[in-house]
Structure 1
Amino acid sequence: MGDHVTFLAALPAERKAELTATSDAAGLRRLAQHAALIAGAGGLIAAQVPGWWLLVPLQGIALVFLFTLEHECTHRTPFRSAALNDAVGRVAGTAIFLPFSWFRAFHLAHHRFTNLPGQDPELDSPKPETVGQWLRHVSGLGVWRSQAAVILRLALGRERARYLPPRALPRMRREARAMLGLYALAAASLLWSPLVLWVWLVPLLVGQPFLRLYLLAEHGDCPRVASMFENTRTTFTNRLVRFLAWNMPYHVEHHVFPAVPFHKLPELHRLMRRELRVTAPGYAAFTRTYLARRRVGGRAGGPPGTTDQRPAPPPPRA
């Protein structure tokens, strides 16, 4: 087995061009489906149909997984139009309290230095090393505090993280201030209606733990090395999760070739599946293994053998 650089170098130019072809139609179709799920669940909650409160977790999961859409928009891959990618990314980021311009810089640094201590900004917030830390992490409360602090620092012009290009700071400041203005209007609406609370804010709080569990599988307990075949995990899961996550469970594939849009990742997986070294047979299985290591004193950053190493199953349909 070679490394990810060798794999990419071996792909013919024609195949690379096919894999990286973006499509407004494919992106808009998936966006319409995701938006319909949010609008449908939100509408039923707003109408207070019998048992509406059972829909709050569904609404929350659909909302928090706008993260994966925003993530893809930072790469400008869901749509052919750069302007459309940026507009959709900003709307998604506003919905989940994650400033789009800031997140683009953060995420591109993560791709450049994936899982490398002192360089990957994702490691600035350490992965949980004990069961107690895992519980706090999965609660999502720390995420809300962190994101609120980032928005405020950006709005005040005080955010100076190492991965932020100075020329982009004025745009980030304007974006953060616009977000705060929208949040102020949403808060004011609570004076006459609890709609925003039950359709948006409470679902976000309820849904965040599901996103935390999902994201932890991407790099948790992967070796701190430069090879994308080792520092990232692909998780085999069902079609519904792949739909909500815009095919990002194919995460090794995404890190090896981030220019590939979400709807081409299953095809890239078919080409790459024999190269995969760090995988999990599902999010429940990953979580059980992750916690088991912590109960016996294991630590993150172990060898690839600490994850499921069974042969990859046949690739599912897109």
Structure 2
Amino acid sequence: MTEKHDHRSLIRDLPVELKARLTRRSDAKGLLHLSGYVFVLLMCSTAILLHIPYWPLFMLPQGILLVFLFTLSHECTHKTPFASDWINETVGHICAVLIALPFVWFRYYHLAHHKFTNDPARDPELENGPRPTTWAGWLNYLSGLPYWIGMATVLWRNAFGQITSPYLPDRRHADMRREARVILAIYTGALLSLIWSPVLLWLWVLPALVGQPVLRLYLLAEHGLCPPVANMLENSRTTFTNRVVRFLAWNMPYHAEHHAYPNVPFHQLPRFHAVTQDHLESTSNGYSAFTADYLKSLK
């Protein structure tokens, strides 16, 4: 039987050549994946714009594609989807506008999450309380309302209030203020555009609202029901799923692998999974299976 390792010993024992191969970034692979993603998004947008038969039905896949830009933004915070840093930064800032997730702020929020994963006292993902433990809390979480309220609060505070979270470095406060003000200015212009055209309502606002519950279900599986321990192969979940979900999420269903070695770009995570699979402690056979298990835990 294979001896189990925690993430530290597993990474430490990897051959140098394998580490180099696993962490090699690629503009070509990143841009190819992004091109496919944008193509599907544009097809849905075109169906909505042209009002083809049953066009309102396209708002759900449109919304799912929009909100799952979260996973791309997340990868860009690690500077891994593309070899060129300027592409990572540019794409991350574009995603910030589309999903109300300020990119500079999110980078430091997310790095703190990696450092203190599932620690109830220090993981910023848990700073407003634990993951839902009741049916009412789960339904509220699933609605996406806490996310939209939380991001509106972050944007307003970063733009006009005090930036106080300990994981946000003072040297970046000015950048966070500038970023938040630019995003709010864009949103003001988008809101005013609705006076003469509902296009953004159909292409962006409503789809993002209806797609958000799907992202919430996906994100809950990343660490939900995982123990608050230091081992990233235990406090993070790998969910075995199909190619469509892996495409949408930039291979982040391999989430324990990502937390174990964040420098591994999305296109190398399947290869890294082959290394980690015998050491994973938290896995689910699909999101339906995870959700069924999670619902059993609710009060």
Structure 1 residue 259: Cα displacement: 0.1
Map residues 91-170 of structure 1 onto 2, 5 A cutoff. 91-125=94-128, 126-170=130-174
The aligned residue for residue 242 of structure 2 is 238
Match of 2:192 in 1: 188
How far apart are residue 201 of structure 1 and its match? 0.3
Structure 2, unaligned runs of 5 or more: none
Given the alignment, which residue of 11, 36, 48 partners 1:8? 11
Q: Number of aligned pairs?
A: 295
Contact 1:70 1:88 in 2 (8 A): yes
After TM superposition, the score normalised by the length of structure 2 is 0.97
1:15 aligned counterpart, secondary structure: helix
CA shift digits 1:151-207 (9 cap, x unpaired)? 000111422111100100000100011101111111111011100000000000000
C-alpha distance in structure 2 between counterparts of 1:271 and 1:102, whole Å: 33
Give the letter for the 2:7 counterpart. Answer: H
The alignment status of 1:289 with 2:293, answered yes or no, reads yes
Find the residue that maps to 2:298 and give its secondary structure. helix
Q: Specify the alignment match of 1:207 in structure 2.
A: 211
**Superposed CA offset, 1:91-138 (max 9, x none):** 011100000000000000000111112111011132001111101000
What residue is the counterpart of 2:66 in the other structure?
A: 63
Answer whether contact 1:57 1:203 (CA < 8 A) is retained. yes
Please say if residues 133 and 297 of structure 2, whose CA atoms lie closer than 8 Å, have aligned partners that are also in contact. no
Name 1:279's counterpart in structure 2: 283
Cα RMSD, aligned residues only:
0.8
**Which residue of 197, 202, 214 corresponds with 2:201?**
197
Question: Highest relative contact order (Cα 8 Å, sep 6+), 1 or 2?
Answer: 2
Task: Read off the aligned partner of 1:27 and give its amino acid letter.
Answer: G
Corresponding residue SS for 1:116: coil
Query: 2:89: which partner in 1?
Result: 86
Residue aligning to 1:45: 48
Q: Deviations over 1:38-59 (max 9, x none)?
A: 1110111011111000101000
SS, match of residue 162 in structure 1? coil
> Using the alignment, how far apart are the partners of 2:196 and 2:136 within structure 1?
40
TM-score by length of 1: 0.92
Secondary structure in structure 2 of the residue aligned to 1:45: helix
Runs (4+) of structure 1 exceeding 3 A deviation are none
| SS at 1:118 equivalent | coil
Residue 209 of structure 1: SS of its match in structure 2? helix
* % identity of equivalent residues: 53
